[in-house]
Structure 1
C-alpha cells in the first residue's frame, strides 16, 4: 500500500486508477477469449490447424500498431491525443463484442466470427498503444519518478487482470454460455468508457494542446496540417530506429518469438479432446502462469534491474526451452508413471511457458522507455509492440505448417511430441545472436546514463 500511496502522490490518483484499469482489462480479455476458443472447437467444429490459423489471423491489427502510434502522437482531437483514442478503442471493442453476443449470424460462421474478433483486437491494439505511451510519457514528466517503477506497477495490474480473467473463466464455463461471458466483458468495457470522461490536462502529461488559450499555437496549427505532423512523427520514428541501441534489440526480440513454432491449439485439443480436461483446469493453468508473471515482475523490480540484460535474456531462453520440453513428458504420459496426475502437471511446469514469454518483454520495455525520444512515445512503443505481434503471427503460422507436416489433428496426436521437441529446440536458437542485445557488465545506472545520452543525440 505504501508503494501505491507514493505513486499516487507522484502521478495522481486518477491517472494511476485509469492506467491500472486499462492494463487490467487488457489482460482480462482472456475471459471472453477462452469462451471463444471453446466456441470454435465445440460449436463451429474446427480442427486444431484451422483454429490456430484463425486465432492468429485475428491478431493482424496488432501489426499495424505503429500507424496508431504515429496518429496518436501527431493528430490532436480537441487539444488532446491520448484520451480521445482510448474512447475510440473502447467503442470499437464494444461494437464488435456486442455483435458477437447478440447476433447469431456473427457467431454461426467461423469466417464471420473471426472478422469481428479481429475488430475487437483492433480496438485492443489502439488502447494498448495509447496506454503504453501514457505510461512512458508520465514517467518522464513527473518529479520524483524512478525509471521502470510505473511500468512494473502497470504490469502487476495487467497480471492481476490475467489472474482474475483466467480464474473466473474456467468456472464460468460450467454455469454460463460463451455469449454470457462476452456480455460480462461488455459491461466492464462500459465501465471503462465512463471513466474516460476526464480532461487529459488533469494528468499533467505535458501533451495537451489548447489552441483556444494559446493564439500562437493556433496560428501554427493553421499552417501545419495533419499530414505534415504525421510525416514529422514518421521521420522521428525512422531516426529513432536508426539508432543501434533500439533496432538491434528489436531484431533480437522479433526473431526470438518468430522462430518458435506455436502449437497452442494442438495442445488445447490434446488437453480437452484426448484427456478430457475441462475449462476450469485450463483456466487455473493460465492463472498459475499469471501469478508467475506477477512474482516475476516483483522479482525484476526488486532484484533483477541491475542484471546485465544480455545475460538475463540468455537465462530466460534456456528456462523457456526447458519448460517447453516438459510438455513431452506430459504428451508421452510419463507424468502418470511418475505419479503426477494430468491436472497437477498442467498446473505446474506447462503453465509457466506463457509467464516466461510475457516476462521477457518487461526489461526491454523499461529500456525502451528510457531511450524513447519525448513526443514519440506512442510511435516507438507501438513499433516495438507491432514487431512482437508480427513475430507472434509468424509463430502461429509456423505452428500451422508444423502441425500439418506432422499430421496432427483433433483425433491424431502421435506427431505432437516431435513438434514439441522442435519448438523447444528453436527456443534456444536466439542465443546464437544474443550479441544484438547491449553488452554485458552494464549496471542499471550505466544503462540509464547511456539512455540519457541517446535521447540527447535524438
Structure 2
C-alpha cells in the first residue's frame, strides 16, 4: 500500500513512524526499529505498508512459511511468471486447439492467480463475491420481501421503510474500512472483521429461521445484521485486492475479472434457484439456507485464508489510530464520512417512528438539505471539481421516490393484479442480470465517447419512458391490447436494468476521474456512500408518497397516480445536470483552472522562459502549506479499486439498486475502459 508523505500540517507518515520508533527504542533499547527509512519491512505471509515501494526498489523476501501462501516477489518476477501463464493460440493452431481454447485459458487464468496470491486468498475472494454477495443477496432479497408481506404482514409503506432501515449497513461502508485500518483486533486488520461478520450473519439468519413470533423491531435488527454480514466482508476483500493490485499491477485486471465473474455466477445461480426455494421452503427455510453463505466465509476466515501480517504488541499497534488520523491530513474526509453515516442512522431510526406523513417528509427533506450543504462545503475545500458531481450523485437518487415494495405487493397479492409466483420472479431476476450485461456491451461499443451530460440526460429521459411502462401495467392497459402481464413485465424488466447500467458506468468513471490525487480511496468510498444514502432518502420519499395517496394492501386504486408522480420526478435530476456535471466525456481529462494552467506551463516549457515560470508559480502555490490547508489535501489510503453494481428495478435490499457498494475503496480498473465490475 503506497502512502504519500506530506499532510496538510506538514506532518508526514514517515515522521510518525520515526517518532514511534524513537519512543520504542528509548523504552526498549534492544529493539530494532520497525520502520527503517520510513517504511515497514513486510512479512512474507501478508501485505504490509510500504511493500509497493519495496517492490519498486527490487527488494526480495524469502519464501512464505504458510502453506497455500506463495512468497512475496519483485514486480519483475511477477511479470515474468504472469507472461508464462498466459494461454495463446499458435499460428498453426488446429480446430481442436480452438475448441479447447476457452477451458485451457480459464485453467491458466486460475493457475496464474493462485501462483501469485495463493489458492487460499483466491478461494476466499470467490466465496465472498460468489456465495456471500452473488447468491446470498438474491436469496435475501426475495425471502425478505415475502417475509414482510406474509409473516410480518406489513403495509407497503411500512415494508418500504423497513427495507430502508435494514439497508443501513450499505450506507456506512467507509466506516468499516476506517475501522479495519485503524483498529486491529489481536494485531490483525482484516480477518477478524470477516470472522465477526460471518458469525453475526449465521446468528441472524438462523434466528430468523427459528423465530416463531417475530416482532417488527427484532426482525429489523436481525436483517440489518444480515446486511452487515454481506457489506463488511466486501470492504475487507476490496482492500486486500487493492493492496495486491498495487504490488503486482499486471494482475489487477485478472483480480477484478475474477471478483465480478464470481459475483455474476453466484447471482445467476441465486436468481435461478431462489424462486423454487421460496415456493417450497418459504421465507424461513430460505433464511436457513442463506446462513450457509455466512458460514462459508466464517470458516475460511477462521482458517486464515486471508494472509496478513500480525502487528506486534507495542507502539505500532497502540498508535494505529493516531497515525491514521495524521496520515496525509485526511481527517476532514473521515469526519465527513462519519457525518454522512450519522445522518443515515438518524433518518433510518427516526422515520419509522413518525406516523404523521408531513412531519416525516419535512425531516427527510431537511436531512437531505443539510447533507447537501455540508458535503458541498467540505469537498469544495478539497477540490472544486469533486464537490458538484458529489452533490449530483446524492441528489440524483434522493429526488426519485422509490416504491419498489408497493410494486412487489401489487405484483404478487393485489386483487386483479398479475399474481406472479416466486418462480416467475426468479426468472425476472435472471433476465435483469442478463440485461445489465447487455448494457455493459452496448455502452462500451456505442456510448463510451459520449459526453457525461448527454449520457445522463439520455438515461434519465429513457427512465421516464420505462416508468410509464409501470403505469401502463398498473392501469392494465396492456391487457386491452392483448399483451399478457408476464410478456409485458419481461420487456420492462429487461429495459430498466439496461438503462440503469447506462447511467451507472459513466457515474463510476466520472467519480474515478474527479477524485483528486492522494485521497482517491477515501473520496471514492465517500461518493459511493453518498449515492447509497441518496437511494435511501428516495425510499423515504416513496414512503411518504404511498402514505399521501393512502396506498395499502387493501386498496391499490391510487397506485397509478403514485407511479406517475414517481415517474415525473425522474425529470428533476435532468435540470441539475448542466450545473453539476462537467462538460466532458469519459475519455477527457478533467482539470481545475489551476491544473489547466500548470499543464499549459508544462506544454510550453520547451518554448521559453514564460512557460517554465508559469508552471513554477502554479506548482509553488499548490505545494505551499497554506494552500494545502485550504484545499485539505490528503494522503492516499490505497490505490485504485472497483465498485460493484447490484442492479434491479428499484432500490431495495438485495436486488434492486445501484449499489456501489462501494465499498471503501478505489476506482474501477476495468470499468473505465471496459468495466471492473461494477458498478
TM range (shorter): 0.7 to 0.9
Offset of residue 260 of structure 1: 0.7
Report matched runs for 1:127-138 at 5 Å: 127-138=233-244
Q: How many equivalent residue pairs?
A: 438
Change (3 A) 1:75 1:366: farther
Classify the secondary structure of the residue corresponding to 2:271.
helix
Q: Would you say 1:26 and 2:133 are equivalent positions?
A: yes
1:280 corresponding residue in structure 2: 423
**Larger CA deviation: 241-250 vs 403-412:** 241-250
In 1, are the aligned partners of 2:140 and 2:290 still within 8 Å (CA)? yes
Q: Which moved more, 1:35-44 or 1:1-10?
A: 1-10
- 2:324 aligns to what? 229
What does the per-residue CA deviation read over 1:274-303, in whole Å, with 9 as the maximum and x for residues that have no partner?
A: 222211122211221122123334555666
Name the counterpart of 1:83: 191
Q: Which residue of 1 aligns with 2:112?
A: 9
* C-alpha distance 125-333 of structure 1, shift in aligned 2 (>3 A): same
1:41 pairs with 2:149: yes
- 1:136 Cα deviation (Å)? 4.1
Measured in 2, the distance between the counterparts of 1:7 and 1:430 equals: 43
In 2, Cα distance between the equivalents of 1:387 and 1:165? 28
Question: Counting helix residues as a fraction of each chain, which structure ranks higher?
Answer: 1
The CA deviation at 1:357 is 3.5
CA deviations on 1:183-209 (whole Å, 9 max, x unpaired) are: 1111122223233334544xxxxxx55
CA drift of 1:270 comes to 1.2
> Counterpart of 1:347?
490
Could you give the per-residue CA deviations for residues 388-425 of structure 1, whole angstroms, max 9, x where no partner exists? 22112111111111111112111222222221122122
Question: Which 10-residue stretch deviates more, 311-320 or 354-363?
Answer: 354-363
> Which residue of 155, 161, 164 maps to 1:53?
161
Q: Could you tell me how far apart the structure 2 residues matched to 1:372 and 1:27 are?
A: 32
| Distance apart, 1:97 and its partner CA | 1.0
Q: Tell whether the 8 Å contact from 1:309 to 1:440 is kept in structure 2 after alignment.
A: yes
2: CA distance, partners of 1:136 / 1:427: 35
Mean alpha-carbon deviation: is it higher for 240-249 or for 404-413?
240-249
One of 185, 190, 195 as aligned partner of 2:290: 185
Which moves more between the two structures, 177-186 or 61-70? 61-70
1:374 to 1:88, Cα distance in 2 relative to 1, 3 A: farther
Residue equivalent to 1:171: 276
Indicate the SS of the match to 2:218.
Answer: helix
Select the structure of larger CA radius of gyration. Answer: 2
Q: Is 2:164 aligned against 1:69?
A: no
SS class of match (1:50):
helix
Equivalent residue runs for 1:235-314 within 5 Å: 235=331, 237=333, 241=379, 242-274=382-414, 275=417, 276-300=419-443, 304-314=447-457
> What are the Cα deviations for residues 308-358 of structure 1, in whole angstroms up to 9, with x where unaligned?
444333332222222122101111111112221111212221454345436
Asked if 2 retains the 8 angstrom alpha-carbon contact of 1:270 and 1:413, the reply is yes
TM-score (norm 2): 0.58
**Cα distance in 2 for residues equivalent to 1:130 and 1:374:** 21
Matching residue of 1:413: 556
Number of the residue aligned with 1:142: 248
After superposition, give the CA deviation of every residue in 1:352-408 in whole Å (9 maximum; x if it has no partner).
Answer: 43454366444444554564767873x444423321221121111111111111121
Secondary structure of the 1:431 match is helix
Aligned partners of 1:109 and 1:273: how far apart in 2?
A: 22
Q: Is the 2:510–2:586 Cα contact (8 Å) retained in structure 1?
A: no
C-alpha distance in structure 2 between counterparts of 1:300 and 1:19, whole Å: 28
2:259 corresponds to: 154
Q: Could you tell me which residue of structure 1 aligns to residue 628 of structure 2?
A: none
CA contact (8 A) 2:397 2:535 kept: yes
Q: Distance in 2 between matches of 1:128 and 1:119?
A: 14
**Alpha-carbon contact 2:443-2:502 (below 8 Å) kept:** no
1:439 aligns with 2:583: yes
Shift of 1:116: 0.9
**Deviations, residues 70-110 of structure 1 (Å, cap 9, x unaligned):** 112323345543333222222221121121112324xx222
* Superposition deviation, residue 58 in structure 1: 1.0
- The reply on whether 1:426 has 2:574 as its aligned counterpart is no
After superposition, the CA RMSD in angstroms is: 3.4
Question: What residue is the counterpart of 2:225 in the other structure?
Answer: 119
Q: Post-superposition shift, 1:8?
A: 6.3
- Offset of residue 132 of structure 1: 3.4
* Partner residue, 1:205: none
CA pair 172-199 structure 1, distance change in 2 beyond 3 A = closer
Alpha-carbon distance between aligned partners in 1 of 2:288 and 2:324, rounded to the nearest angstrom:
39
Partner of 2:215: 109
Alpha-carbon distance change, 55 to 442 in structure 1, aligned in 2, over 3 angstroms: closer
Verify the 8 A CA contact 2:206 2:288 in the aligned structure 1.
yes
